[in-house]
Structure 1
Amino acid sequence: MEDLEYLRDEINKIDKEMIELFEKRAKISRKVAEYKMENSMNILDKSREEEVIKANLKNLKDKSIKDEAKTFLKNVMEISRNIQKREFKQSSKNSEIKAKGQNSDAFKVGFQGVPASFSHEALIEYFGNKSEALNFESFKDVFEALKNGTIKYGVLPIENSSTGGIPQVYDLIGEYDFYIVGEKCIEVNHNLLGVKGASVCDIEEVYSHSQAFMQSSKFFEKHKNWRLIPYFNTARSAQYVSEQNVKSKAAIASKNAAKLYGLDIIEENINYNSNNYTRFIIMGKDIKSDKQCDKISILITLPHKPGTLCNILKYFHENNLNMTKIESRPIINKSWQYFFYIDFDGNIMNKDTRYALKGIEEESVYFKLLGNYKGDCF
């Protein structure tokens, strides 16, 4: 049997080689980020990552560790994405929020909230440094700005993997005549933030968006004496706590918000679901579609009688279309009647997809194609 110290020494040598290779890979990842920014490409390319993992697993000699190798490769991919995200943010650092009228060559994109909000992060990751970001007080303000031409696109949260859909945004989609032209999924990790020197023992009040409270509910079960106060959004909460500069007040927000507003991170990653993502949609005035689009969103209302929803669902089954989301929202002034928002995989250039859409439209009282765009969530 080989000596333990010898084996450890061998592992140390391998680790040294891995670190050297990791640095080389990180350097290339930064160059990839530069290319993606210059060409307005998304950070995540699911098909590319799947190809890389599949190709590397073929090179694996010891098939007994195939699952572990797959996990290893996925982690490497995630690290590369994080490096690229950092490059995207750095390139946009000096132009994140600009006064109206500046940078007239860039198109304007609106979001709800303040710098360091997750909406702002989604905007930066989707558009890179090609746009001028304008922040607004409410979701409705973003839609109004799109309506009057102040902005070309709006970035809005539509659903979270832990707490589901965001009703206000769904209702506004039904109210305004705009289209979904893209989407961006952002990993959401909530942190308990306080002023410099504050600790858990000092806290009496916590400010944040209601979604953040729900996504961190298990953490707050251990602190039932704290007052949870809903606020505009996570980043605004961090800004408010920073301005108040009182140890008894805390906020739930991102690490970026802590850095921007000069707060300490008292507790990290307090959301109960470690796989916590928020899906953001990109809204525009005109529908866009090309061969790369792989996701479709529609809005319908159905006759108020039994079996109508079943009639709609058959078109997905018969045409082998994968429905990824269905959300119902009440129609104002029509008791017990609903809008249905449906997402599914597909491209409107496909014959079977067009046939399904035609059938769904014929079965519906109201039908609108909300968009055909490139999906980002997985």
Structure 2
Amino acid sequence: MSLLRVGFQGVKGAFGEEALYNYFGEEVHTIAVKNFEDICTSLESGTIEYGVLPIENSSTGAISDVYDLINKYECHIVGETHVKVNHNLMGIKGCKMEDIEEVYSHPQAFEQSKNYLNNYKWKLVPYYNTAKSAEYIMKQGNKKIAAIGSKKAAQLYNLDILASNINSNNTNTTRFIILGKKLMVNEDCNKISVVLSTEHKAGALYHVLKHFAENNINMLKIESRPRGNTPWEYNFYIDFEGNINNDIIRKALEKMSKDCHHFKILGNYKQFN
């Protein structure tokens, strides 16, 4: 029996890899890709059967690039998982704090660790992701550069941890979505994600959102993103409770779609608990 092919962004030791194992377990064939968009194109081409992407952090909020991608591509959210994120400052063996001039990591890691980093005058260099940053400084072998990433990344790339748990929020958590090619719904699915846009006029969004109150549907989150080719107009990403096989939910979705210019069901899946 062949193993599921599941993609994540980065290299071994990335938080995305941890999320992948959290959701699928160890018995999978993992495929690392360079960019977030590579997950979507790999799903389209059939290189992978599922992909894992970060969509939201409890400290820094939405990861906007991922929201744009799940609207752009024909993929669907089939699950979600959470990863507790602890950031650590690391350098090559023998590196000391006073040696450091530059620090490499993903911009989200810099933002999540800004209270700590504000104490130093290091140059912060944005890089693909945290584990890729750890791999990079290992290959460079330069005591003047450090990285921010997980303890697992430090172990994998034989780096010394110079400061532990430097993230500003000790409950720092990232929500990851599991993407598949097709919409998958079963009786356990209790969370729905949609993206929509409305006419650019007063009350347009209200006419969509009223369907939640009228049908006693609990809305969990709403996020807005600019529409690329129409300045000052927005796509709205909405998460809410329900199963699309339920008659009330199905009828509410039908009514909502009629009040929108663009309406897409992104997924119906089991909410992480």
TM bracket (short chain): over 0.9
**Alpha-carbon shift at residue 350 of structure 1 (Å):** 2.4
Structure 1 stretches of 4+ with a deviation exceeding 6 A read none
Among 127, 130, 133, the residue aligned to 2:24: 127
Matches within 5 A, 1:35-54: none
CA RMSD of superposed structures (Å): 1.2
Q: Which runs of 5+ in 2 are unaligned?
A: none
Are positions 1:115 and 2:12 aligned together? Answer: yes
SS of 2:196's equivalent in the other structure is strand
Are positions 1:330 and 2:226 aligned together? Answer: yes
Among 133, 153, 159, the residue aligned to 2:50: 153
| 1:326-372 residue CA offsets vs partner (Å, 9 max, x unmatched) | 11111121111111111111112223222321221111111111111
Are positions 1:374 and 2:245 aligned together? Answer: no
Among 202, 211, 230, the residue aligned to 2:108: 211
**Alpha-carbon shift at residue 289 of structure 1 (Å):** 0.8
- Aligned position for 1:318: 214
**Alpha-carbon shift at residue 375 of structure 1 (Å):** 1.1
- Aligned position for 2:153: 257
- Aligned position for 2:245: 349
CA–CA distance in structure 2, aligned partners of residues 235 and 351 of structure 1: 45
Report which structure shows greater RCO (CA 8 Å, sep ≥6).
2
Q: Which runs of 5+ in 1 are unaligned?
A: 1-103
SS of 2:154's equivalent in the other structure is helix
- Aligned position for 2:130: 234
**Alpha-carbon shift at residue 174 of structure 1 (Å):** 1.2
- Aligned position for 2:98: 201
Are positions 1:359 and 2:255 aligned together? Answer: yes
**Alpha-carbon shift at residue 105 of structure 1 (Å):** 0.8
Q: Give 2:230's aligned amino acid.
A: K
Mean Cα displacement is larger for which, 329-338 or 201-210? 329-338
Are positions 1:299 and 2:199 aligned together? Answer: no
Mean Cα displacement is larger for which, 282-291 or 322-331? 322-331
Higher relative helix content = 1
Higher relative strand content = 2
| 1:116-165 residue CA offsets vs partner (Å, 9 max, x unmatched) | 00011111111112320001111111111110111101111111111111
CA–CA distance in structure 1, aligned partners of residues 165 and 125 of structure 2: 19
**Alpha-carbon shift at residue 318 of structure 1 (Å):** 2.1
Q: Give 2:228's aligned amino acid.
A: I
SS of 1:110's equivalent in the other structure is strand
Q: How high is the TM-score relative to the length of structure 2?
A: 0.97
CA–CA distance in structure 2, aligned partners of residues 221 and 358 of structure 1: 50
Percent identity between matched residues is 52
CA–CA distance in structure 1, aligned partners of residues 216 and 233 of structure 2: 28
Q: Give 2:60's aligned amino acid.
A: T
- Aligned position for 1:166: 63
SS of 2:238's equivalent in the other structure is strand
